[in-house]
Structure 1
């Protein structure tokens, strides 16, 4: 047995022996409210900071916006080696209607093998696993042939402007690869994602008395009906998937057929532009011809089409309607992106999922977006792997299995050893 292999096994055993400490950490994270909005990360950042300092790590705070704190810590002194970034967000989506929860969203309770509460799956259990592994490496004085940085960011759930993008643009963190503990399935980290094209479309008309419509005025709402019909044609655009990512698409469809079987009917989303008319607002009252109407649209872009092509398509279709309109981009903005399954950071995670579970593992696409797109835009290979009960994410009664938290933590520890020793 190699020294590297012995070290991996030693860390895995340590996590097994001290798993109660890991689960208690994740529970404490859930008990601390960190909904975004409003986005105040003061309390949870203070807790994590104290936890890391107790382990002997040095930390640095970076306030990117009011009460939004990024926390960064690095261990390992051999700067000639590789540099890996552990990354996780501390914010969670709002709990919503509390009457629809079967338990307190901030309970952090463990019942029947489940950890309960808002953020259990997205992503306080994954974040806890990263923090625990990072602190364990420090407490055990593990000699790393490179560096490991832990970046805890406060702003992912509203688009992430003040989290990972802020840290990278300000050159506060850097690395050769990154692991984000976003929720994933047991054997399938996400190594690619569709692009995002969110926009507001505003259509203008001419007001008048409702009793004279449609002979008088120019109804912005009925104009919007025509506009939406054209926008939805994005789904029908014939897109040729580039050959270099076809294998990833094929594996992702296999995943949808064999793993998340309820997703089998949705395989086509990996080849098409999805179009969600998510919000509409217009008019004043029933007897006034509306002079404006606005919709918010969420489009996700597959490989083979880019943002400027979507803009051109929309302009062509809407111009042909002869109406006055304006398009404003907001929110997520990215093209489809991926990291090769053969990249060392992907190999370190995928190989160690198989090592820890004795089961085939392979990377897949996600049909949503995350901070991974930002790392890739800065030429940092990245993948996502974290504990989750996927049906509960962003919903009521969010939870995650305790055994999944422990499994992921073991993978995190083994992967950093393989990656930095390669």
Structure 2
């Protein structure tokens, strides 16, 4: 088949693709509250029927990985990554439909994981099975990484695969995570956890205004100053200014929040957890808060520590310490890397509008490939409303467009006419 014939095939067999998404949704694979066995078994059965060689691997039997591949040993080598775990559905009464029904309407597929990211996984599986069945002569190879531990941080999934040689010698990587059809993600912020610890002296609660030192009140004097960290700005090269400005414009337009573009090039903070005290009638002698801090490109550890010292001084609180646990550095791919241009070209041809390479404020497994020096993008169908919340859905047309973009870009990168 030619590239044109392959794209036509997707349109003609779109019902198969839509059904694939629905069936993946119907398999509960919540992380960390559920099991991944059912969905991993389903993917393995699909690959087996498609004639694609695979193996199950990993370091934790509760979070297995699948690696597979098609194509030749020489030529362009691309990794395609997708995770099959989903965040828990939560309070079922908050859903307007069964989150694991995989219901198909005229325009949408409904359920937990539709956008994040079983629709992307389905598009990838559908594309690979088509290329394999039609014996498309690829000038290169596709290496599939299916993981089941992304929602809990990825240490048993993509991180482990990258650390154990499964990503070696790759020329590019696609992570089929949700982006919408308006953008190709080419960079994301880094992150660290800031733990603030306040130490006091215990006493009987009835004497709290006269005796003891209340650790909760000490910490409360620190927290209003945490926003000082958000004044730290990233350090972008001249070459990065265009995608930066495009990213900020897109963020504000799609979310209708003026000033949201600042989240791309400045540090952001979220005081997410506070715990302190043991009983209501005891002066608490310990309290801690955990702050999620996201780091734009170029921000150094020394900048964070310098501002933290200013925060401590500004609060006037004594008996408060802090710890920093770095999770990852900000990471990015050049906006004119071959994989970026191939996906941009094919998506724009299908959609008839501009698709913008952009940075985002969140993070994904893309960082692990970028840390190995592999040009990596994120591109997948999604409705942002409902991701990690209730009433998650995906547009059927976006699923089809994504699958066609995967096939078209692969054909261009591997010289399929």
- Is the 1:193–1:366 contact (alpha carbons within 8 Å) kept by the matching residues of 2? yes
- Is the 1:242–1:303 contact (alpha carbons within 8 Å) kept by the matching residues of 2? no
Q: Which whole-Å CA distance do the structure 1 matches of 2:257 and 2:406 have between them?
A: 27
Q: Which whole-Å CA distance do the structure 2 matches of 1:378 and 1:148 have between them?
A: 18
**1:352 maps to what in 2?**
346
- Is the 2:58–2:157 contact (alpha carbons within 8 Å) kept by the matching residues of 1? no
**1:288 maps to what in 2?**
282
Instruction: Give the CA deviation at 1:195.
Output: 1.4
**1:48 maps to what in 2?**
43
- Is the 2:78–2:172 contact (alpha carbons within 8 Å) kept by the matching residues of 1? yes
Q: Does 1:135 align with 2:129?
A: yes
- Is the 2:233–2:296 contact (alpha carbons within 8 Å) kept by the matching residues of 1? no
SS of 2:256 mapped into structure 1:
helix
**2:55 maps to what in 1?**
60
Q: Does 1:36 align with 2:31?
A: yes
Instruction: Give the CA deviation at 1:202.
Output: 2.1
- Is the 2:219–2:320 contact (alpha carbons within 8 Å) kept by the matching residues of 1? no
- Is the 1:242–1:304 contact (alpha carbons within 8 Å) kept by the matching residues of 2? no
The superposition leaves residues 340-373 of structure 1 with CA deviations (integer Å, 9 ceiling, x where unpaired) of 1110111111111112222212211111111111
Q: Which whole-Å CA distance do the structure 1 matches of 2:233 and 2:388 have between them?
A: 32
- Is the 1:203–1:224 contact (alpha carbons within 8 Å) kept by the matching residues of 2? yes
* Aligned Cα root-mean-square deviation (Å): 1.9
- Bigger Cα displacement from structure 2, 292-301 vs 319-328: 319-328
SS of 1:277 mapped into structure 2:
strand
Instruction: Give the CA deviation at 1:421.
Output: 2.3
What pairs up with 1:158-169 in 2 under 5 angstroms?
158-169=152-163
Q: Which whole-Å CA distance do the structure 2 matches of 1:328 and 1:29 have between them?
A: 41
Q: Which whole-Å CA distance do the structure 1 matches of 2:133 and 2:409 have between them?
A: 18
**1:303 maps to what in 2?**
297
SS of 1:266 mapped into structure 2:
coil
Normalising by structure 2, report the TM-score.
0.94
Q: Which whole-Å CA distance do the structure 1 matches of 2:342 and 2:236 have between them?
A: 27
Report the CA distance shift for 1:261/1:118 in structure 2 as closer, same or farther (over 3 A): closer
Instruction: Give the CA deviation at 1:81.
Output: 0.6
- Bigger Cα displacement from structure 2, 26-35 vs 245-254: 245-254
Q: Which whole-Å CA distance do the structure 2 matches of 1:319 and 1:160 have between them?
A: 37
SS of 1:293 mapped into structure 2:
strand
**1:89 maps to what in 2?**
83
The superposition leaves residues 368-392 of structure 1 with CA deviations (integer Å, 9 ceiling, x where unpaired) of 1111111111111111111111112
What pairs up with 1:221-232 in 2 under 5 angstroms?
221-232=216-227
Q: Which whole-Å CA distance do the structure 1 matches of 2:179 and 2:371 have between them?
A: 22
The superposition leaves residues 302-355 of structure 1 with CA deviations (integer Å, 9 ceiling, x where unpaired) of 12312343244325543774633444455x712222111110111111111112
What pairs up with 1:264-343 in 2 under 5 angstroms?
264-315=258-309, 317-318=311-312, 321=316, 323-329=318-324, 333-343=327-337
Q: Does 1:98 align with 2:82?
A: no
The superposition leaves residues 235-289 of structure 1 with CA deviations (integer Å, 9 ceiling, x where unpaired) of 133555443322211011221344x052443122122211110111111223211
Q: Which whole-Å CA distance do the structure 1 matches of 2:196 and 2:153 have between them?
A: 19
Q: Which whole-Å CA distance do the structure 1 matches of 2:68 and 2:334 have between them?
A: 27
What pairs up with 1:141-152 in 2 under 5 angstroms?
141-152=135-146
**2:246 maps to what in 1?**
251
Q: Which whole-Å CA distance do the structure 1 matches of 2:317 and 2:382 have between them?
A: 48
> When the two structures are aligned, how many residues end up with a matched partner?
414
**1:176 maps to what in 2?**
171
The superposition leaves residues 188-245 of structure 1 with CA deviations (integer Å, 9 ceiling, x where unpaired) of 1111111111233222111112233343211110110122233331013355544332
Q: Identify the match of residue 192 of structure 2 among 194, 197, 207.
A: 197
Q: Does 1:16 align with 2:11?
A: yes
Q: Which whole-Å CA distance do the structure 1 matches of 2:321 and 2:57 have between them?
A: 37
Q: Which whole-Å CA distance do the structure 2 matches of 1:51 and 1:31 have between them?
A: 15
- Is the 1:307–1:334 contact (alpha carbons within 8 Å) kept by the matching residues of 2? no
SS of 2:224 mapped into structure 1:
helix
**1:420 maps to what in 2?**
414
SS of 2:385 mapped into structure 1:
helix
Report the CA distance shift for 1:165/1:39 in structure 2 as closer, same or farther (over 3 A): farther
Report the CA distance shift for 1:98/1:61 in structure 2 as closer, same or farther (over 3 A): same
**1:397 maps to what in 2?**
391
